[in-house]
Structure 1
Amino acid sequence: MPNSSPTWGVVATVDEPAILIAAFVRHHLTIGAHAVHIFLDRKNEAARDMLAPIERCYVTECDQNYWNESGLSRRPPRHTARQKFNAEQAQALGMTDWLLHCDADEFVTDGSVVFDDLSGANDRCVIIRNFERVYTPTANQKGQDAKLFDGAFREPIEMFDLVSEPLFGEFAPMLKYGFSGHVGGKAFVPKGAPWSMGVHRAHVRGTNERAPSREGRSLFYHFDGLTRLHFLLKILKRGYETPDGPKRKMGSQRILQAIYAREHAHDRHKMTTVTQALKALTTDQVAFYEGFQSLNQTPFGPQGCAGLDLSAASFDACLRAENAELLDMAGLSYFGD
C-alpha cells in the first residue's frame, strides 16, 4: 500500500429513498472517496437511475438471485447480517487501500482529515468517531423551508445516565450517552488484512477477536433519521421485526425505543412527544450539552449535491409513499399531517 497516497472507499447496504442514497454517494466521492459501493437491500429503480451516471459508484441489487448465488442458505433475516456480508463482498474486491462501512444516514465530514488518518497506518484499523444530529430551538427542521441536514450535532457524554433524569425524565433511558443511536463509531479496514468487515468494527477472520486498531481524528455525522418521520419509521421497523417485538441484537436504548413505538404508534400525542424528546433539545437541554462542551452548532451540508431536492417535505412524501402499508398497519399514517 503506498503510504503517500492512500485511497479509501465506503460501502453501504441501503433501504432508503433514492435522494438520500444519491446525496450519500455524491458527498463521499466529492470529499475524496475513490469508490462507493451501494448494495440495494430492496428493488429501487429510482436509486439505480440516479446512481447510474456517477463514476466510481458501484451498485449491487440484493435480489433473490443475489442471495441464491451468495453461498448462504438464505437471505439473512437480520439487517446487520446482510450489512456484514455485503461489506465483506466489497472488501474482497480490493478496489481501495481502505474501506469504511457506513449507513446512508452517516456522512464523513472532512476528506483531508481522513487522508491524514490513513497515511502510514496500514497495520491497524482506524476508528473514527461519530456525532449525532439533533434539533435545537434555533436549528429546528420545521416548515416548508426545512432541509434534511438542518440541526446541530451532539457529542457523547459518558456520565449522561447519572445526571440526565431531571431534564430528560422518562425518556432518559432511551438515550445512551445522550444519543438516540449508536456511539461506537466505525472502522476503516486496510486492504489485504486478515480481518473481516463488520458493521462497526473488523474482527480477526473466523473469530470474535477484534482486529487491532487505533483512534483517528476523522469524524462522521450520524443523522439517525433524516426527518422525524424517518426516525419513527426506523424504530417502528425494529418494533415489528418479529411478531412479538424486537429480538435482534441492538443497544438497550434502541430496544426501548422500538417497544415504545410498537405500543404507542397509534397515539399522536405520545409519538410526537417521544420524537421531540429523542431528536430535539429544549433551551435548558442545549445548556446541558453545552455545559459538557458536547454540542456543535456549526451547520452541515453534504458536498457535491447541487440539483438534488433535499427538502424535508419532499423526503417525507417519498417515505409515506414507500412505507404506506407499514404506516397504516401501525396506525401512524397521521404523523406529519
Structure 2
Amino acid sequence: MPEPKWGVVSTIKAPQRDVLGFAAYHLSQGAHRLYLYLDAPDPETYAILKAHPKIRVTQTDAPYWAKKGKHPNKHQPRQSINAADAYAKRIEVDWLTHIDHDEFLVWQTPLKNQLGALPSSCLCARIRPIEALEWHGPASDPRPFKGFALPMPERRRITEMLYPTFGSHVNGGFLSHVAGKMIYRTGIDGFSVKIHNAFLAGEQNPGQIELEQTRLCHLHGASWSDWSANYAYRKSKGAYRAELNAPFDQGKGGMNMHSLLTMIEADGGEQALRAFYDELCTPRADLLRGLEENGLLHWHRLDLEGAIAEQFPACA
C-alpha cells in the first residue's frame, strides 16, 4: 500500500515573511500540497507562492466571493468556506488539515506513518496544540512550548499550581484554543469541516482518534510585543471575542477569556495585562521546572528561515 499523502489548507492574512515561513516549513516537513487562501490582496506574495509546484494559492478577491455568494465579515466563516473549497478540489492528497499561519506541525514518528497506521473507520484524527513560551534565543535553536493535561480534573489542578494568579480562569494555562485541529480523509461525499471539528451525515468527528505523536506548535503568544499588537483584534473578532463560552464552570461564575481580560484591563490597564502575559508565557525557572515535572514541557526547532532558503531560495 502506498504511503498516504497529506496536505495543509490555510486562510492567511500576514506579512509576506510569515506566509513564506509557514509554507516553507510544512513543505520541508513533507506536505504533498498546500492550499493557501490569501485573505487580502497581495500580488507579490501570490506570485511567489504560485511559482512553487506543490502550492495551490487562491486570491480571495471579489470574483472569488461572488462565486461563493457572499463575503463573510468574520474571518472564522471565511476559513470554513475556504477549507471546504480546498476539500472539494481534485484530490491530490489522502489527508488534509486546516491550520493557521502561526501553527506548525511537529511529530515523533513521521506523520505519513501515523496516518498509514490508522484504521479505515477513522475518518479524522485530532492534533492537540502546544503553546509557545516567549523566547529570545537564536531562531534556529529549539524553543520551549507548554502543554496541558487532557483529563480535566488533572488539568485544572496542574494549571492552578503552575499559574497561581490566573490559572483558575485559564484552560490549561493556554491563551488560545486547547481543542487543536483535525486532519481528515479526503474524497468522502458529504464530509464537511469547521475550524476545530468535522462532520458527516450529522455525526461530529466520525471515527476520531487522538494523534498522540503529533503536536501543533502554536505561536499565539510568542512574544509580548506580538501578543499585545494583536490583542485588540482578538478581543473584538478573534480568539477572545465576547460570544465564546467559558472554558469551564459555565453558569457557575466561569469567565470566558473576553470577560477575564476585560476585568484585568479594568483593574490595571496595560501593566496588569503584562502581568497576565508574564505568568502564562515567560519561561521563568519555576514554570519550566513545573512543566517538565508534569511532562508538559516541549522543545522544538522550527527554523523558518532555513526552510525559506530551501523552498524559496530567491527569497532567502
Same fold per TM (> 0.5)? yes
Query: Residue 127 of structure 2 contacts residue 180 of structure 2 at CA under 8 Å; is this kept in 1?
Result: yes
**Aligned counterpart in structure 1 of residue 180 of structure 2, from 177, 182, 185:** 185
Alignment of 1:185-264 (within 5 A): 185-193=180-188, 194-205=190-201, 207=202, 209-216=204-211, 217-241=213-237, 246-249=241-244, 252=247, 253-256=256-259, 259=262
Partner of 2:98: 101
Partner of 2:21: 23
Alignment of 1:259-298 (within 5 A): 259=262, 267-298=269-300
Gaps of 5+ in 1: 309-337
CA–CA distance in 2 between the matches of 1:163 and 1:133?
18
Q: Go from structure 1 to structure 2 and tell me whether the alpha carbon gap of 1:285 and 1:110 turns closer, same or farther (over 3 Å shift).
A: closer
Partner of 2:139: 147
Partner of 1:113: 110
Which deviates further from its counterpart, 14-23 or 62-71? 62-71
Q: Which residue identity is paired with 1:152?
A: P
SS in 2 for 1:234: helix
SS in 1 for 2:68: coil
SS in 2 for 1:219: strand
Q: Which residue identity is paired with 1:131?
A: I
CA–CA distance in 1 between the matches of 2:206 and 2:53?
32
Deviation per CA, 1:109-134: give whole Å up to 9, x if none. Answer: 24962111221534421222322211
Partner of 1:322: none
Cα RMSD after superposing both structures: 3.1
SS in 2 for 1:127: strand
Query: Residue 10 of structure 1 contacts residue 35 of structure 1 at CA under 8 Å; is this kept in 2?
Result: yes
Q: Go from structure 1 to structure 2 and tell me whether the alpha carbon gap of 1:172 and 1:112 turns closer, same or farther (over 3 Å shift).
A: closer
SS in 2 for 1:129: strand
CA apart distance, 1:271: 3.5
Partner of 1:131: 130
CA–CA distance in 2 between the matches of 1:50 and 1:298?
27
Q: Which residue identity is paired with 1:294?
A: L
Query: Residue 182 of structure 1 contacts residue 251 of structure 1 at CA under 8 Å; is this kept in 2?
Result: no
SS in 1 for 2:53: coil
Query: Residue 153 of structure 1 contacts residue 296 of structure 1 at CA under 8 Å; is this kept in 2?
Result: yes
SS in 1 for 2:308: coil
Query: Residue 93 of structure 2 contacts residue 186 of structure 2 at CA under 8 Å; is this kept in 1?
Result: yes
Q: Go from structure 1 to structure 2 and tell me whether the alpha carbon gap of 1:163 and 1:30 turns closer, same or farther (over 3 Å shift).
A: closer
Query: Residue 149 of structure 1 contacts residue 226 of structure 1 at CA under 8 Å; is this kept in 2?
Result: no
Deviation per CA, 1:283-321: give whole Å up to 9, x if none. Answer: 21222212211112354434622389xxxxxxxxxxxxx
Q: Which residue identity is paired with 1:281?
A: P
Deviation per CA, 1:21-65: give whole Å up to 9, x if none. Answer: 111111111111111011111223343244233221111122232
Alignment of 1:48-63 (within 5 A): 48-63=46-61
Query: Residue 146 of structure 2 contacts residue 298 of structure 2 at CA under 8 Å; is this kept in 1?
Result: yes
Query: Residue 13 of structure 1 contacts residue 83 of structure 1 at CA under 8 Å; is this kept in 2?
Result: yes
% identical aligned pairs:
23
SS in 1 for 2:148: coil
Query: Residue 242 of structure 2 contacts residue 259 of structure 2 at CA under 8 Å; is this kept in 1?
Result: no
SS in 2 for 1:104: coil
Q: Go from structure 1 to structure 2 and tell me whether the alpha carbon gap of 1:165 and 1:186 turns closer, same or farther (over 3 Å shift).
A: closer
CA–CA distance in 2 between the matches of 1:174 and 1:12?
30
Partner of 1:89: 85
TM-score by length of 2: 0.80
SS in 2 for 1:33: coil
Aligned pairs, number: 294
Query: Residue 148 of structure 2 contacts residue 172 of structure 2 at CA under 8 Å; is this kept in 1?
Result: yes
Q: Which residue identity is paired with 1:27?
A: Y
Deviant stretches of 4+, over 6 Å: none
Query: Residue 142 of structure 2 contacts residue 299 of structure 2 at CA under 8 Å; is this kept in 1?
Result: no
CA–CA distance in 2 between the matches of 1:197 and 1:171?
33
Gaps of 5+ in 2: 248-255, 312-316
Q: Which residue identity is paired with 2:139?
A: K
CA–CA distance in 1 between the matches of 2:273 and 2:173?
19
Partner of 1:324: none
Partner of 1:320: none
Query: Residue 40 of structure 1 contacts residue 59 of structure 1 at CA under 8 Å; is this kept in 2?
Result: yes
Q: Go from structure 1 to structure 2 and tell me whether the alpha carbon gap of 1:107 and 1:298 turns closer, same or farther (over 3 Å shift).
A: closer
Query: Residue 9 of structure 1 contacts residue 99 of structure 1 at CA under 8 Å; is this kept in 2?
Result: yes
Deviation per CA, 1:137-165: give whole Å up to 9, x if none. Answer: xxx32xxx763986301121342433544
